Structures are given as structure tokens and as C-alpha cells.
Amino acid sequence: MKLEHRKQKLLPLSTFFLRLARYFFFTAILIFISVCIGVIGYHHYGELGWLDSFHMACMILTGMGPVIEMKTNTAKLFSSFYALYSGVAFLSITAVFFAPIIHRLLHILHVEDDDSK
């Protein structure tokens, strides 16, 4: 998923939307994998039902916080590590999604690097 150099011509809008769709698809896959990790972990370690596991994983992944209290030590450990992973994953996924938009904006504005001075 390479972006054009600042000296290259700006992509046509239709090609940009295609690039945006590819980035969206990639971020959707990352979100799906992250939610699956949480759902399986909460179902296995937290002994929650599938729907409660999904609810808990989505709330943690988006930074809203836990919904159900974990009873066992292994469930608490999983919940802690999943929360740490979710914080990094949420920010990374957001950055990947917005990368082509920010790149196009900077490309339009012709922002120069500090190295060229």
C-alpha cells in the first residue's frame, strides 16, 4: 500500500476512493481479528456467553471500559492484557484508516519536509 511521492502528480479522485476502500477493508480485517481475540478470550477465560463476550470485547476495544467484572485470576489477567492490546490496536487501526486521507491533504497543501531546508 504505497503512497505517491510529494513530487508526483495527485491521484484522480476515483483512484483515491479505491485506495481508501482498500485501507478501509484492511482496517475492517484488523478490527474483526481484534474482536475475535477478545470474544474467544472472554468466552474461554471469563466464562461468559458468546453475546456477553462480544459485548465486552467491543467495549474494551473501543476504550469504553469493562462491562462485566471478571471473577477468576486468569480472567483478570486476560482482561488486563486484552485492554493493553486494545489501546495500541485502536490507535494503530485509526492511524491506518486515516493515513490516505491525511496523505492526500498534505499532498494537496504541498507540505515540505524539514530535511529539505
25-65 residue pLDDT tens = 999 999 999 999 999 999 999 999 999 999 999 999 998 98
pLDDT at 107: 81
pLDDT at 104: 86
pLDDT at 1: 61
For residues 4 and 15, the answer to whether their CB atoms sit within 8 Å is no
pLDDT at 10: 77
pLDDT at 112: 60
pLDDT at 26: 95
74-116 residue pLDDT tens = 999 999 999 999 999 999 999 999 988 998 888 888 766 555 5
What domains can you pick out in the chain, each with its CATH number?
15-110 (1.10.287)
CA dist 74 → 12, 42, 46, 78, 81 (Å): 52, 10, 8, 6, 11
pLDDT at 115: 53
